[in-house]
Structure 1
């Protein structure tokens, strides 16, 4: 063998030993992990992608044949791509409830916003209680919590007491309250680095909706 071939063989052997050690360590980590647990998942932060990530999980549920549901707390009558896709092609697996009436600066009516949020929360409670619905996404509920349209402690108490043990609930929106973050099993904060809106570019189909 040439010197280069010997060097390649040594590098391959070192890589194999390293990967074997990593696999053994990973196997030890996995040994005490439970196979199944319903999760409370929070997507928050100022960056884009909170709802997009939640809808990605909904599509995974659909692909696995798992019944799921979406309750939108802000995007009421918006004609979004996710709404078209899920209601038009997967309505047998995914319930879609657009309960909001737009952003608070659109309605400019606090009582109306509170009433819409309460309707959405009642719908969400019914869906979460159903053990056959494996995932419920509460899209932009954190906005309702931030403005005091719903009480964070009430939402957390309900999730702890009534969510079926193997079912998942995903709550999206910036400014998630600390009580919800503390209660969640998985929390992801989307960080804003750059956004085209700051350069004068409006929301676009396929990107934002």
Structure 2
């Protein structure tokens, strides 16, 4: 490193002044529509990170799982055992579509999950509602995307955050969202024959 300490300090002071000026203009606050999509791992994991952050701050929140069925997962087990007073948790799916092989049943379950999601979002006590894997249900047209978009645009309380996860997020949802993160797959052990492991995938 060629910079001497004094030069480095002056450089960081200029950077801080510039950053402070930018931050001073960020005064708005509102509930965000947040989308996690892409082929990479981490969509639900990152969303649950925000749910646990809410719990840590004592802020009521809720989760609706659209696809994942009754298998035990670390996040669900912990929330139900220790934080059910702060997080209303609903697993409404019966597994991935290739496991159920019953489109009619899948659509019924997705519709029930969406009705529960609307109920939880309308409840202004919930600061955040996570709709886990809803993008999969939307991809297979189990729920009309137009209905979801209209609800989020017109009925979501102003200060409620809604997080929607899953691959292949619809372009219309991406357009509506305030924050979109696409998880990029670079490398995954599944391709090398390594199965999903406790504490990593579930």
TM-score normalised by length of structure 2: 0.97
Counterpart CA distance in 1 for 2:71 and 2:22 is 44
Match of 1:107 in 2: 100
Counterpart CA distance in 1 for 2:71 and 2:151 is 29
Match of 2:22 in 1: 29
Aligned length: 202
Counterpart CA distance in 2 for 1:18 and 1:131 is 45
Q: Structure 1 residues 152-161 or 182-191, which shifts more?
A: 152-161
Secondary structure of the structure 1 residue equivalent to 2:186? coil
Counterpart CA distance in 1 for 2:141 and 2:157 is 26
Question: 1:95-143: CA deviations, max 9, x gaps?
Answer: 1000001011111010000000000000000000111100000000000
Identify unmatched segments of 5+ residues in structure 2: none
Across the aligned residues of Structure 1 and Structure 2, the Cα RMSD in angstroms comes to: 1.3
Counterpart CA distance in 2 for 1:17 and 1:152 is 52
Kindly report which structure 2 residues correspond to 1:32-71, keeping only aligned pairs within 5 A, or say none: 32-71=25-64
Match of 1:181 in 2: 174
Secondary structure of the structure 2 residue equivalent to 1:47? coil
| 1:164 Cα offset (Å) | 0.9
Kindly report which structure 2 residues correspond to 1:143-162, keeping only aligned pairs within 5 A, or say none: 143-162=136-155
Counterpart CA distance in 2 for 1:12 and 1:67 is 47
Counterpart CA distance in 1 for 2:77 and 2:198 is 12
Ranges of 4+ aligned residues in structure 1 off by more than 4 Å: none
TM-score normalised by length of structure 1: 0.94
Secondary structure of the structure 2 residue equivalent to 1:91? coil
Secondary structure of the structure 1 residue equivalent to 2:4? helix
Kindly report which structure 2 residues correspond to 1:83-122, keeping only aligned pairs within 5 A, or say none: 83-122=76-115
Identify unmatched segments of 5+ residues in structure 1: 1-6
Counterpart CA distance in 2 for 1:170 and 1:208 is 19
| 1:34 Cα offset (Å) | 2.2
2:162 aligned with 1:169: yes
Task: Give 1 or 2 for the bigger CA radius of gyration.
Answer: 1
